[in-house]
Amino acid sequence: MAQVKQVKSPYEIIVFEPGKKYNLPLQFNLRKLAEERKPMILPGHRLCAGCAAPIIVKLVSFALRGPTIVVNATGCLEVATTIFPYTSWAVPWIHNAFENAAATASGVESALKAMKKTGRLPYDHVDVIVFAGDGGTFDIGLQSLSGMAERGHDVLYILYDNEAYMNTGIQRSGGTPQFAWTTTSPVGKVIPGKTQEKKPIADIMVAHRIPYVATATPAHWADLMRKVRKGLEVEGPAFIHALSSCDRGWRHDTSLAIEISRRAVDTCYFPLWEWIRGKGYYLTDRSLVIAKNPRLKQPIEKFVEVQGRFRHLLKPENRHLLKQLQEYVDAVWDDLLNRAVNAPR
Ligand X SMILES: Cc1ncc(C[n+]2csc(CCOP(=O)(O)OP(=O)(O)O)c2C)c(N)n1
Which positions touch ligand SF4 (CB under 6 A)?
47-48, 51, 53, 76, 80, 162, 166, 246-249
Contact partner at residue 157 from ligand SF4, Mg ion, ligand X, none, CB < 5 to 8 Å by partner kind: none
Contacts 24+ apart (CB under 8 A), 180-183: 180/309, 180/310, 181/251, 181/308, 181/309, 181/310, 181/311, 181/312, 182/249, 182/309
Contact partner at residue 127 from ligand SF4, ligand X, Mg ion, none, CB < 5 to 8 Å by partner kind: none
Nearest approach, Cβ of 47 to ligand X (angstroms)? 9
Chain residues binding Mg ion by CB under 5 A are: 133-134, 162, 166
Nearer to Mg ion, 112 or 257 (CB): 257
Q: Is the C-alpha dihedral spanning 144, 149, 153, 157 positive or negative?
A: positive
Concatenate the DSSP letters of all residues of 195-234 into one string.
-SPPP-HHHHHHHTT-SEEEEE-SSSHHHHHHHHHHHHHS
Which residues 6+ apart lie within 8 Å of 248 measured at CB?
48, 166, 170
Nearer to ligand X, 170 or 225 (CB): 170
- The residue of the chain with the least Cβ separation from Mg ion equals 133
Rounded CA separation 279/123 (Å): 32
Nearest approach, Cβ of 146 to ligand X (angstroms)? 16
Contact partner at residue 154 from ligand X, Mg ion, ligand SF4, none, CB < 5 to 8 Å by partner kind: none
Nearest approach, Cβ of 2 to Mg ion (angstroms)? 44
Nearest approach, Cβ of 89 to ligand SF4 (angstroms)? 16
Nearest approach, Cβ of 338 to ligand X (angstroms)? 31
Nearer to ligand SF4, 48 or 204 (CB): 48
Peptide bond into 85 cis (omega under 30): yes
